[in-house]
Amino acid sequence: MPYLKADAPLNTPEAETLESLLGKKNYHNTRLKRIKTIQDLTDAERNRSGLVTIGKRCITIPGDPFGVYPSWAGNVAHPEDERMLDILPPIFETLIQGEIIQSDQLNAIEHLLSRVPTTGVNQLAAEISNGNEYDVVKYTAEESVVDFKMGSLSVRLMNAKDIDMRAPSPYNHTLRARMSVSGANDVFNELHMSTSLQQYAMTCILRDGTGQLNERDSYDEAEDDVDLENPGSKAFEKLRARAQERFWLHMTPEQRQRLHYESLQSNPQLEDILMIIKANWDRSWNDKEDVDYFRQYAKDAKAAEHVWDLVDKDVFVVTDKNNQVVFANVEHAADLMFGTDVVDNLVRALDLWSYFTPLPLPETQRHVVDRWVRHLHPELDLHKAPVDRLPQAKMAVAHLGCWSHLFDPNGKMVIRTRDARFARSVNQEYSQLLFPQFAKAVLGKATSITRLLVQNLDPEYYAECVEIFNHLPEGERVVTDDEDFASLFVLLVNAYTQRHRDRTDVKGGLAGLVTLGDYTGGNLCVPQLGIKVPYKPGACAVIRGDKLDHLVTDYRPPRYGIVVTNHESTKRHALRKMGRVPQQAIIDEGEPFDRPDRLMSTTCVNKRSDDDDDDEIHWTNKELHGPRALDSSSESG
């Protein structure tokens, strides 16, 4: 990922071990030349942590001569290490050459999925099951569920007769959704934090004299403390989030009850601090739509453990009353299609791409509990990692593809995403040069795997997506396959995504979710359906993600994911080019785009770049204009 020789998988090439990657001096300039290789470090230096602080730019890492950490990134990267030009292309070429392996199992899955839109679940089970035998798990007015074996594969088909995808709100009012909500309330019945309780919890943190949790976390360390003499809105926003985090994730129910009782009592010793907090209280925090992400996380964790049914089948498909697919999951889809060697190379490519290329830290609205995740999984905390563990300590989300500008929801102009343009920082020429190969090798395999489900389960939508892609600007779309149908890919690196809907995906469309790596845990949950699936490495799921909530439970990393989808704005752009006038997106001019509750509904984008560090960075001519530029100290004629 890469690893030291002793920890690396068998047959790992020497060039991909940390001894090799961190063992070369960097002679790009005098400052970098002084950085020690990992072999030059003393034992004490090698075991030292605190080399990197999340959110703070770092360009000198002892033991890692080519390593840099941009303030916006979720990984230590090596964008100027020219060895990537030798290491990555052969892996990419192997992946590009890897073809689908035709087998009886794969043919059976394709046949099953293609029959789903036109055939009832009982009839389909009777026709394709082993010995025409199947079990009726449930048969009610609301749903029909059948289990059967198809060769060696286990299959479950669920027809949700109380769901009609054509309805404005098809999923929230079904019996299944109501039972899911009721069950979650039964196992987690604590009320939201009132305004007074939040203010008191913030006061208690400040009373401790730290302005932070008991165990200091590495994220934004210098900004955690609240200066009561010069308070600022950002500081109080972070303090409020810290109070919510401590309340829901660090306290027991009994401790929370006691704190609530204390908040109702008069305490003259805290009055001065409480007055300052009230004076700096943002009125939007009183909004009934204000989201407490930590409470939602805690509640979902309980529901995932005790309420939502685990459907542990090789193939699982949910349809609505009209046999339209709502959700589907195929375990080990990647291995079935391409074999373990190709899948291993796919993970290897992702490991190395995220070693060389800086990738954005997950934005903090959808991934607000990442601090807590680093508490649960300290191996992911960059601040706690010594130099030989930094490559494993990464959490990132990169958007690769195209969409329109935030304030252009009707897609008048489609542009490449910032991550696909490598526009967050300079010195990414090598990654940018290799990106077309990466797209065909890695994203192309995700395209093929997702196509297995989308094309068979919803052929009309698939054809529409192909048409959309073909009408996008050639210079902006990312080509991954001979027949592309997805214009946006989201690369997930150890990302712990909370409950959300992808409201900016094509309305009513299907998004593909391909998961890879060597992780355990990580069930994919769909609360409105009251289900979760194992979602083991190599699985592929498709979901109507613009209206169905979904989340992934805790897991032991490493884990990679690739979301395969289309942005609604690209569809509107394509329709306009085809001469069809799309329905205009409705924008409420009284609602700002940056409201927190709206941010959670959009694609999870970290907007930071090196531009945010302009006061700290002193650019050289070579960094600004390329390696052939004059040195900063050179005299002009």
What SS3 state is found at 365?
A: coil
Q: Per-residue pLDDT tens for 168-186?
A: 899 999 999 999 999 999 9
The ranges assigned to domains in the chain are 24-82, 193-291, 310-607
Is 126:147 a contact under the CB 8 Å cutoff? no
HSE on the CB side for 507, CA within 13 Å?
Answer: 13
Residue 27 CB contacts under 8 Å (≥ 6 apart), including other chains: 33
pLDDT of residue 227: 58
Q: Determine the Cα–Cα distance for residues 166 and 575; give it in Å rounded to an integer.
A: 21
> pLDDT tens, 23-71?
999 998 888 999 999 999 999 999 999 999 999 999 999 999 999 999 9
Helix orientation angle between 195-207 and 233-245, rounded to the nearest 10 degrees: 100
Q: How do 315-319 and 153-160 pair as beta strands? A: parallel
Name the residue with tokens 């910032």.
418
Specify the DSSP element, H or E, that contains 416.
strand 414-416
CATH T-level assignment (fold) for domain 310-607: Jelly Rolls (2.60.120)
Q: What confidence tier does 221 reach under pLDDT thresholds 50, 70, 90?
A: very low
Residue 264: predicted pLDDT: 93
Q: How far apart are CA 369 and CA 133, in angstroms?
A: 46
pLDDT of 623: 44
* Residue 31 burial class via C-beta count within 10 angstroms: exposed 0-12, middle 13-18, buried 19 and up: exposed
Give tens-digit pLDDT for 150-168. Answer: 999 999 999 999 999 999 8
pLDDT at 611 over 90: no
370 has a pLDDT exceeding 90: no
pLDDT score at 8: 85
pLDDT digits (tens, 9 = 90+) for 429-448: 999 999 999 999 999 999 99
Q: What is the pLDDT of residue 233?
A: 67
Closest Cα partner for 305 from 96, 97, 532, 474?
532
* Closest to 69 measured CA to CA, from 336, 374, 359: 359
**Going edge to edge, which strands form the sheet with 135-139?**
135-139, 143-150, 153-160, 315-319, 325-330, 540-543, 511-517, 559-565, 488-493, 396-404, 414-416
Q: Which residue has better confidence, 595 or 276?
A: 276
Helix (H) or strand (E) holding 179: helix 175-187
> CB–CB of 544/509 below 8 Å?
yes
81 or 221, greater pLDDT: 81
Question: Is the separation of the CB atoms in 532 and 550 below 8 Å?
Answer: no
Cβ pair 603, 502 in contact under 8 A: yes
Question: Which pLDDT score is estimated for 589?
Answer: 43
> If you average pLDDT over residues 211-230, what whole number do you get?
46
Looking at residue 314, what DSSP letter applies? S
Q: What is the pLDDT of residue 225?
A: 57
Q: What does the alpha-carbon distance between residue 442 and residue 493 come to, in Å, rounded to a whole number?
A: 14
Enumerate the β-bridge partners of residue 515. Answer: 561
**pLDDT at position 222:** 36
Distances (CA, A) of 271 to 238, 262, 286, 448: 21, 13, 21, 62
Percent of the chain whose pLDDT exceeds 70: 86
Residue 203 · residue 277 · CB < 8 Å: yes
What single-letter amino acid sits at 85? Answer: L
CB 432 within 8 A of CB 439: no
Is 35 within 8 Å of 26 (Cβ atoms)?
A: yes
DSSP at 218: S
Strands 540-543 and 488-493: unpaired
**Rg value, the chain, Cα:** 26
459: CB partners within 8 A, 6+ apart: 114, 117
> Please, what is the Cα angle at 590 between 589 and 591, to 5 degrees?
90
Give the number of other CB atoms < 10 A from CB of residue 618: 8
Residues 6+ apart with CB under 8 A from 83: 15, 21, 24
Distance CA 278, CA 274 (A): 6
Mean pLDDT in residue range 206-214:
57
Cβ–Cβ under 8 Å, residues 620 and 631: yes
pLDDT digits (tens, 9 = 90+) for 70-118: 999 999 999 999 999 999 999 999 999 999 999 999 999 999 999 999 9
Tokens of 356: 């060389």
pLDDT confidence tier of residue 616, bands split at 50, 70 and 90: low
Res 515 pLDDT > 70:
yes
CA–CA distances in Å: residue 550 to residues 347, 454, 504, 628: 24, 18, 15, 49
* Average pLDDT score over residue span 589-596: 42
Range 126-136 average pLDDT = 97
